[in-house]
Amino acid sequence: MNTGYILHSSCWLITYAFILISINTNANETAERTLNERTLNKERSGFYFQSNNTQALQNDSFANPGLLWVDSGQQWFSKRPDNITPACQHCHNQDKKPLVGAATLYPQYDSTTKKLMNIEQRINRCRTQYQHQPPFPYESNELLSLTAYVSNLSKGMPFNVNITDNEKPFFERGRDFFYQRRGQMNLACHHCHEWNAGKKLRGDTLSQGHSNGYPIYRLEWQTLGSLHRRLRFCNTGVRAETYPLGSEEYVNLELFLAWRANQLLIETPAVRR
């Protein structure tokens, strides 16, 4: 008996069964959503799809491992790059009040570059333009820490992303990305995070795919990670093309996800399985 063949066939049968259960077979499916069509009262944070233990870990202000990066980010915020260059807090004031609520508004259109900019890119813009330092690499501890710190200043505040005429084309591209089938699995984001939210996949409960906790500490990563890291993981999971961290494709999608999460409270640093 060829056990290798049986195992290979079984894997494909399981995959095919999941596709049949999860996906509508209409190959010409399109997303026809407008800004006014989405109802907000059905949205639930990924927190509610976690186990009691994971929820307790996130809520523990001492044990939450993501707070290590928040503390590190606070140090970077108050640290001068050299003896001449001012620290972040020099511009944003010692009490940080001007940054409270900032994370609820990103990504935003940047009039200088005429592109969309998320918090990570805004931090690096300040670093290069005002501190005259090289940008932090995406997913570096320094950038994750500063992003976690800035986002944590808005913890408990609802997302309030506004789609202006400037943001609209980026928003539409992000929305199209969310509803577009991709990869060998021929799946779109919404197949998991809208049609099958709350169901099990590989022992994990599918959430609605909201971004209100990032950067998050994932137990499977054993570290803090950005939203774009998670997006790449999802692309890999459906055997689709991945994009660079900080790419326009992911920032556009990030805008759509932020708008989709409007009125959900920021939880950074969230803890997920």
Which residues participate in the annotated binding site for substrate? 230
Question: Is 130 within 8 Å of 238 (Cβ atoms)?
Answer: no
Decide if 234 is catalytic. yes
Residue positions forming the annotated binding site for heme c:
88, 91-92, 126, 189, 192-193, 234
SS3 letters for 2-66? Answer: CHHHHHHHHHHHHHHHHHHHHCCCCCCCCCCCCCCCCCCCCCCCHHHHCCHHHHHHHHCCCCCCC
CB atoms within 10 A of CB 273: 15
CB atoms within 10 A of CB 186: 14
Cα gap 255→175, rounded to integer Å: 9
Q: Which of 23, 100, 234, 238 is catalytic?
A: 234
Cα gap 236→232, rounded to integer Å: 6
Cα gap 120→151, rounded to integer Å: 10
Active site residues: 234
